[in-house]
Each structure stands twice: as C-alpha cells, then as structure tokens.
C-alpha cells in the first residue's frame, strides 16, 4: 500500500532548463553529502557543468557519491569518470556488464533512477538524465526544440524516505563491489534529518509518496499505484509517457475507466527512436474505439513519465509504462496528492498537446495506417517474444 506523508514543499521543474539550475544551486549549498543516481550521464556541456559543481563540493569537504548505470553510461569516457574520482568524487557503476549477446535477466535489469539528495534536506526525482536537452536522436542543427521532460524538487517530510533509499542502494552496490561503507556517518545523517523534520509546520496538506520499483520486495509498486489511481478516477485521466506499451491489466483499467465516463487522454511519443516503439500502436484501435483520446507529440522528442488524475493525484518519475520499466528496471516515482501541483502539471501537459501534438482519430487510424498497423503488430510480437524469454509473457 502506498504511504503518503504530509508536510512537503514541491516544485515542478520543466525540462533541463529548470532542473539543472535548481540542481546546481542545491549542490553549491551542500555542506555534508550529495547522492546522485542516474541512468544516463553524458559528458556534454551539462555533464561537465554538473561534474565541476560536484568536484567543487568535494573541495569544501562534502562527501559526493555518484551511481551510474553501466548500460546508460556505456559511452561515458573513462577519462571523465577518472577526473571525477581523482577529484574525490566517489563513482560506482550499476551492473557494468553490458554484453549485447545475452538476454540473461540480470543483465537486463538496469538502474533507471534519476534521483539526487543533498544533505538530507533537498531532493530531486523525475525523468531527466544528466544530458543536454538538445541532445535528441537524429537532430539536425537548429530544427528541433528541446525534449520535454519533468522533475520535482522536494523539501519536507518525504526526505527521510529518499535518504534511506539512496543510502540503501549505494550500500548494496558497495557490497557488490566489495567496498566499505561508512555506515556510522550514514546513520548520523539519517538521525539528524529525522530530528530536523520534526520542526516542519508548513504545507501540511501537500501529501507525497516515494514509490520505488526493484526486483525483490517492490516488483509492482509503481504499476499498482497507477492502477489504484486509475480505478478510482472519477472525471479525467491524463498520461504523458514516452515509452508506452502497457500490460493487460493496465490496458483494461484504462478501458474500464473510459467506459464508466472518465475522460482519458494519452500523450505519447510521435517520433520513433526504435522499431520496438511501434508496439505502442498495437493498442490504438481498441483505445480509440472506446473513446480514449490519443495524441502524438511530434514537435520534438518527449521523454515524460507523468500523469494527472482528477486534477488532484499526480505522479512524476523515471518509470515508463512498458516492460522494461515495469518488469526489469529499478525505477523511482513521486506520487502527489495536491490540487495546485496536479493542476500545474495538467495545464503543462495540455499546453504540450496544444502546441506540439497531433490527435489520432479513429477514422484516420482505421483507414490510413495499414503500414503502421502491420509494423505495430510485428513490433508487439517481438516484445511478446522478448517477454517470453525473460519469463513475463503472460503479462501482455
């Protein structure tokens, strides 16, 4: 069951243009420790900037621990990580084995987090990697706007859970790497932050929950949080998700919501990065037939993993609605029950629909997309084969 806590200050951050300055400011103010855990870290203008801020923090005596995914950061130059480590930044890789010639489930389980925690006082969570917004696939100079993505800056009573989560994962990977962890320091920071949070009295009605997905005790927590909110929806469901290949239960929940009169809008990626993304189209016919509105964002690339339900419940995080995120990867989402926050996110999604999305009509899909329909079922078949190999075929 999802555990919501009151007493939080949340700020919605749109794209790297808002996220990176907020992250930089938090790093610059750090006094004790910084945890940064991300799927992709690119040594571009943004990665270099954040790296320099981390190195400067070390010079001030701050403990800095960076956890990167082995596959997501496979192109990160060793020279860059060496510079960080030589400066005192502790860097580890989650599952550095990335052989393309194996479908072993353990090799496919990646760290998909985009989380940062500073001094146990400020946290960030969302879908934004450490990469320039303009670094999008197949981009020609000056002709594609930055990708759409979101993160949340968090202060308040949710921070102890975030501290616990990043410490626990670092400790787990440290053990895997046969490294020592200063558990005494971690426990001290944890204790001190619990004491600090007893003083919080503002924003008592802003309820938030940290929901993690792993391959042990929390395999379905994010999916179940979505399903619970969808089944309780009364008027509107808006989902903006870049990689959308929902399982049977998720699809059925959306269809049942539409049938009981809930307005369902899906904002999906309109620019295909990979052939398997065509699997998303396999569900268009059934969704459209039942009144679900489908919009494809085509102005640029959309990397969003957000949703708003009844202008009160919202989620922002790293989890796509696809087999990779729901069945394999470590993911982190924040759930929010707060009307102002949810309304702000809702309006931003609707603006993206208005400015850069194309609505797919039932008639157009039925009559004019034979090639896409064939490609979608071919891609979906490949997805099912993949799920069969990893033991999740019955989910689709």
- The count of domains in the chain is 2
Residues 172 and 215 in one domain: no
Residues 389 and 240 in one domain: yes
**Residue 305 appears among annotated catalytic residues:** yes
Q: Give domain status of residue 233, yes or no.
A: yes
Q: What are phi and psi of 57, to 5 degrees?
A: -65, -40
Residues 223 and 194 in one domain: no
Q: pTM for the whole thing?
A: 0.89
Q: Of 69, 133, 310, 338, which is the active-site residue?
A: 310
Cα 317 to Cα 335: distance, rounded to the nearest angstrom? 9
Residues 226 and 134 in one domain: no
Residues 225 and 186 in one domain: no
Residues 197 and 337 in one domain: no
Q: Of 53, 193, 265, 305, which is the active-site residue?
A: 305
Q: Of 53, 65, 69, 119, which is the active-site residue?
A: 119
How many angstroms separate the first and last alpha carbons of the chain? 24
Q: Give domain status of residue 2, yes or no.
A: no
Residue-level pLDDT, tens digit, the chain, 396 residues: 789 999 999 999 999 999 999 999 999 999 999 999 999 999 999 999 999 999 999 999 999 999 999 999 999 999 999 999 999 999 999 998 765 555 555 667 899 999 999 999 999 999 999 999 988 776 555 567 889 999 999 999 999 999 999 999 999 998 877 654 444 444 444 444 444 444 343 456 799 999 999 988 898 999 999 999 999 999 999 999 999 999 899 999 999 999 999 999 999 998 877 666 777 888 898 999 999 999 999 999 999 999 999 999 999 999 999 988 888 899 999 999 999 999 999 999 999 999 999 999 998 888 766 777 777 778 777 777 766 655 555 555
Residues 190 and 257 in one domain: no
Last residue in a domain, options 206, 231, 247: 206
Q: Of 53, 65, 112, 281, which is the active-site residue?
A: 112
Cα 160 to Cα 162: distance, rounded to the nearest angstrom? 5
Cα 259 to Cα 252: distance, rounded to the nearest angstrom? 10
Q: Give domain status of residue 3, yes or no.
A: no
Residues 168 and 218 in one domain: no
Residues 185 and 279 in one domain: no
Residues 246 and 304 in one domain: yes
**Residue 112 appears among annotated catalytic residues:** yes
Q: Give domain status of residue 263, yes or no.
A: yes
Residues 152 and 230 in one domain: no
Q: Of 303, 337, 338, 348, which is the active-site residue?
A: 303
Cα 21 to Cα 370: distance, rounded to the nearest angstrom? 45
* Structural domain containing residue 54: 8-206
Q: Of 114, 121, 207, 281, which is the active-site residue?
A: 114
**Residue 310 appears among annotated catalytic residues:** yes
Q: Nearest to residue 114, comparing CAs of 65, 157, 152, 156?
A: 152
**Residue 114 appears among annotated catalytic residues:** yes
Last residue in a domain, options 176, 206, 236: 206
Residues 254 and 344 in one domain: yes
Last residue in a domain, options 178, 206, 234: 206
Cα 51 to Cα 54: distance, rounded to the nearest angstrom? 5
Q: Give domain status of residue 109, yes or no.
A: yes
Q: Give domain status of residue 33, yes or no.
A: yes
CATH number of residue 303's parent domain: 3.30.870.10
């Amino acid at each position: 069951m999802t555990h919501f806590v009151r007493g939080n200050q949340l700020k919605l951050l749109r794209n790297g243009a808002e996220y990176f300055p907020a992250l930089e400011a938090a790093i610059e103010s750090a006094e004790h420790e910084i945890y940064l855990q991300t799927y992709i870290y690119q040594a571009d203008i943004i990665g270099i900037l954040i790296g320099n801020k981390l190195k400067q923090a070390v010079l001030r005596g701050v403990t800095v621990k960076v956890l990167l995914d082995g596959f997501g950061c496979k192109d990160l130059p060793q020279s860059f990580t060496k510079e960080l480590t030589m400066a005192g930044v502790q860097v580890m890789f989650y599952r550095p084995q990335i052989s393309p010639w194996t479908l072993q489930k353990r090799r496919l389980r990646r760290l998909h987090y985009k989380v940062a925690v500073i001094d146990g006082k400020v946290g960030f969570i969302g879908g934004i990697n450490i990469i320039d917004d303009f670094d999008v696939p197949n981009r020609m100079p000056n002709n594609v706007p930055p990708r759409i993505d979101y993160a949340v800056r968090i202060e308040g009573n949710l921070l102890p859970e975030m501290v616990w989560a990043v410490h626990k994962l670092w400790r787990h990977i440290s053990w895997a790497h046969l490294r020592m962890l200063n558990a005494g320091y971690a426990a001290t920071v944890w204790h001190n932050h619990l004491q600090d949070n007893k003083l919080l009295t503002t924003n008592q009605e802003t309820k938030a929950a940290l929901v993690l997905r792993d391959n042990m005790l929390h395999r379905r927590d994010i999916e179940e949080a979505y399903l619970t909110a969808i089944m309780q929806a009364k008027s509107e469901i808006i989902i903006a998700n870049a990689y959308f290949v929902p399982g049977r239960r998720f699809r059925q929940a959306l269809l049942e919501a539409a049938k009981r009169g809930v307005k369902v809008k899906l904002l999906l990626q309109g620019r295909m990065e990979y052939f398997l993304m065509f699997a998303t189209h396999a569900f268009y016919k059934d969704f459209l037939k039942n009144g679900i509105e489908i919009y494809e964002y085509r102005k640029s690339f959309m990397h969003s993993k957000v949703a708003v339900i009844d202008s009160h419940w919202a989620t922002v995080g790293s989890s796509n609605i696809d087999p990779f995120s729901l069945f394999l990867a470590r993911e982190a989402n924040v759930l929010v029950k707060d009307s102002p926050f949810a309304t702000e996110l809702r309006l931003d999604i609707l603006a993206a629909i208005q400015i850069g999305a194309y609505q797919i009509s039932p008639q157009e899909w039925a009559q004019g997309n034979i090639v896409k329909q064939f490609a979608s079922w071919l891609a979906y078949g490949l997805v099912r084969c993949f799920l069969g190999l990893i033991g999740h075929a019955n989910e689709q």
